[in-house]
Amino acid sequence: MEFDLTINSKRRYENFIKSVSGSKTIWGLKSEDGWCICESKDNKDTGVMLFWSDEAYAQQFAVEEWMHYKPTSIPLDKFINWLYKMNADDLLVGVNWNTNLIGVEVDPFDLYKELGEVVLLEIEELREKIKQLDESYAKSLLLIIYTRLDTAINGTGGDEVIKQTVKDLFDMYSKLPDSKKFKK
């Protein structure tokens, strides 16, 4: 997979959102010293943390001054929590930059909102599937989802709360009779 330098930055940003929404994985470059950060083109005092939608894209960037960095995957839920911290640290996010250091510099909060919309759409799809279950069981599942997401969003548990929620949902689902399980 090679960056097409003719594709503009905005298009690469849109491709990032679409790809990450499907894969639920973001790629960054990491070394023993930490994550890949560049200087902002617009504000020399601001750092830009770089991320890609694909391991191969990240690997292409790991040359010259970045050759000691290795592509490292980040789960989407963890990345969304990082965006809040990046915002607090006054960092920007660069997504799918090409090898010429050309790409969109986006405020972490704006990216958080955009990726958050993807997560909300998935929750809505799950909610629609849950409606197919019997009413009392569906209400129990929805209560678990909303309570735990509220806890995660308000910063008391984050990734662990989300992981436990997903585990509990799968456990509850596995106990359903086959007649109640979703049909593919």
pLDDT tens for 110-124 read 998 888 777 777 777
In a shared domain, residues 103 and 135: no
In a shared domain, residues 44 and 79: yes
Q: Label residue 6 by pLDDT band (50, 70, 90).
A: very low
Q: Which segment of 24-33, 58-67, 102-111, 161-170 scores lowest on mean pLDDT?
A: 161-170
Highest mean pLDDT among 13-17, 46-50, 120-124, 151-155: 46-50
* Interstrand relation of 70-75 and 25-31 (parallel, antiparallel or unpaired): antiparallel
Report the alpha-carbon angle 112-97-110, nearest 5.
15
Q: In this model, does residue 184 exceed pLDDT 90?
A: no
In a shared domain, residues 20 and 74: yes
In a shared domain, residues 99 and 14: yes
Q: Label residue 34 by pLDDT band (50, 70, 90).
A: very high
Tens of pLDDT, residues 72-118: 999 988 898 888 889 889 999 999 998 888 889 999 989 988 887 77
Q: For residue 93, how many C-alpha atoms fall within 13 Å in the half-sphere facing its CB?
A: 27
Structural domain including 169 reads 131-180
What's the CATH number where 32 sits? 3.40.1350.90
Check residues 63 and 143 and name the one with the higher pLDDT: 63
- At 148, give phi and psi (nearest 5°): -70, -40
In a shared domain, residues 100 and 29: yes
The enclosing H or E element of 164 equals helix 158-174
In a shared domain, residues 17 and 83: yes
In a shared domain, residues 26 and 84: yes
Going by C-alpha positions, the residue among 49, 99, 100, 107 that lies closest to residue 74 is 49
Residue 9 has what pLDDT? 83
Q: How many CB atoms lie within 10 A of CB 6?
A: 6
What's the mean pLDDT when you consider all of the chain?
Answer: 80
Backbone torsion region of residue 73, taken as left when φ is above 0, otherwise alpha when ψ lies between -120 and 50, otherwise beta: beta
